[in-house]
Amino acid sequence: MNPHYDGFLADHYTWMFGAPYPALVAEQLDALRRAGVAEPTGTGLAVDLGCGSGFQSVALAEMGYRTVLAVDSSAKLLAELELHASDHPAIRVVHDDLSQVAANLPAGTAELAVCMGDTLTHLPDRRAVTQLFVDLFAALAPGGRLVLSFRDLTTSLTGTSRFIPVHADADSILTCFLEYEPDVVTVHDLLHQRGAQQGWTLSASSYRKLRIAPEWVTDQLTEAGFRDVGQAPAPRRMTLVTGTRQR
């Protein structure tokens, strides 16, 4: 269980993106296609690590992947995904730590692995990131692809720029505040909600994210054996990084 997500953010996760669920799936489908992901031609197995409520998982099922392993440590987010996956029998939810799942995937079986939506920065340290790349290289079949998207937090914001509005409507306002350390940034999520009787109330929770640069990620992928490694802009101010296990 992820205390921040299951205890605080999961109830508001999809809402905070500010768009209907089908539009969020379409956004990720477009990102995957721009990353060079096409309809499956090999094993048909895709692994979505840190799937959240499933925008990428549903997109991959719509692309024709025969099995989509949707992995997340949040039971609440996986329950939401299951509601949206009723028309997609290819999706299999896995309630587990993504690093453990990656380490135990049978060698050479996955046609595609994705770790998107800033999931990568939630890993505990850089060593865990590099080990994930090694494990995914082993799990991918020859010609298999890896797609990452994450936010570059290596540049420190200062002053009031550290307060970032996330999403708001008439009854809820979600803001985050960033505190920087050399290797991590602590994200404080602040949620104001309007109650029928009590007026506005504040709830808050914090979690840490790694500060990893796209150039460092591409170097680690290359060291793990990936080829054709590249990067490009991704939706919502993220960076898209891709790599291929050569045949």
Q: What is the DSSP string of 85-113?
A: TTT-TTEEEEES-HHHHHHTSPTT-EEEE
What is the tens place of the pLDDT at every residue in 60-109?
999 999 999 999 999 999 999 999 999 999 999 999 999 999 999 999 99
Whether residue 196 is predicted with pLDDT greater than 90 in this model: the reply is no
**What is the tens place of the pLDDT at every residue in 178-187?**
999 999 999 9
Query: In Å, how far from its chain's centre is CA 69?
Result: 14
pLDDT at 4: 85
Q: Which backbone phi and psi does 92 adopt, to 5 degrees?
A: -120, 115
Q: Beta strand 45-49 with 238-244: parallel, antiparallel or unpaired?
A: unpaired
Cα separation of 143 and 146, whole Å? 10
Give per-residue pLDDT as tens, 215-224.
999 999 999 9
Tens of pLDDT, residues 104-140: 999 999 999 999 999 999 999 999 999 999 999 999 9
pLDDT at residue 143 greater than cutoff 60: yes
Q: Are 205 and 189 in contact (CB under 8 A)?
A: yes
pLDDT in tens, 204-245: 999 999 999 999 999 999 999 999 999 998 888 899 999 999
